[in-house]
Amino acid sequence: MEYFELLSPVKLSLQISIISLIFVAVIGISLATFIGKGTFRGKVLVETVLMLPLVLPPTVTGFILIIIFGGNSTIGKLFDSFFRTSLMFSWWAAVMTASIVSLPLMYQSVKTGFQAVDKDIEEAARVDGASEWVVFLKISLPLAYKSIITGMILSFARSLGEFGATLMFAGNIPGKTQTAPTAIYVALESGDIKTAWFLVLCMILLSFLMLFLSTSLSRK
């Protein structure tokens, strides 16, 4: 098998991780703004739920996704009715899984960044007549950019390495939902050590680059 064919799962993993990162970045920053910076009853409970995918076994996450979005669920049936296709075992199922498991990293990193912003600076801007939106765009975001970028890198790396929940919810369809981690598993199970090693080295290289970027940013 040619090397460009072997790279197909890696390419698919990168595509899924990039699309997932877009959703995670927008949702993570929004949640960190309205939940992380806010004070309300039940905040600890809400944040605990948000962080659950980080500690749950992947099979549990996959099982929950099947129950909520599977073909026999209400949401799954509605999806089938509108789009004439099943959400399970689709490319978007892989994106959804990657987004869910990586969101806690993005949320926690951005929340930490916002908490580190000097509140006196934000308050001074409000006193000068700046709206909350202007304070957010011109002060909070720029001052927390390192934490935001770190969260994006870590979330991307987490999406790239997702295996268990993706295998359960999105399946292992070559060229459609077979990501690099699932391809490594299949290659090892079938005794194709050459392919497994090639994919493993690709993932090690990508993971090293992500971790190196994150560490370099933290040191700066």
pLDDT tens for the chain, 220 residues long, are 466 677 889 999 999 999 999 999 999 999 998 887 777 788 889 899 999 998 999 999 999 999 998 888 888 888 888 877 788 888 999 999 999 999 999 999 999 999 888 888 888 888 888 888 888 888 889 888 889 998 999 999 999 989 989 999 998 888 888 999 999 999 998 888 988 999 999 999 988 888 888 777 767 6
CA distance 192 to 189: 8
- Whether residue 96 lies inside any domain: the answer is yes
- Whether residue 193 lies inside any domain: the answer is no
**Which domain does 151 fall in, by range?**
11-173
CA distance 77 to 88: 11
Cα distances (angstroms) measured from residue 34 to each of 30, 39, 46, 135, 170: 6, 9, 12, 14, 31
So what's the pLDDT on residue 79? Answer: 83
- Residue 219 tokens, joined: 């040191």
Please count the other Cβ atoms lying within 10 Å of the Cβ belonging to residue 155. 28
Closest CA to 155 of 12, 8, 27, 64: 27
> Does residue 17 contact residue 97 with C-beta atoms inside 8 Å?
no
What pTM was estimated for this model as a whole?
0.88
Closest CA to 102 of 210, 189, 10: 210
So what's the pLDDT on residue 210? Answer: 83
- Whether residue 213 lies inside any domain: the answer is no
- Whether residue 218 lies inside any domain: the answer is no
- Whether residue 137 lies inside any domain: the answer is yes
For position 45, which CATH number holds? 1.10.3720.10
Q: Which residue has the tokens 């993993």?
A: 13
- Whether residue 140 lies inside any domain: the answer is yes
So what's the pLDDT on residue 2? Answer: 61
Q: Please tell me the total count of domains within the chain.
A: 1
- Whether residue 112 lies inside any domain: the answer is yes
Please count the other Cβ atoms lying within 10 Å of the Cβ belonging to residue 188. 15
So what's the pLDDT on residue 65? Answer: 92
So what's the pLDDT on residue 75? Answer: 86
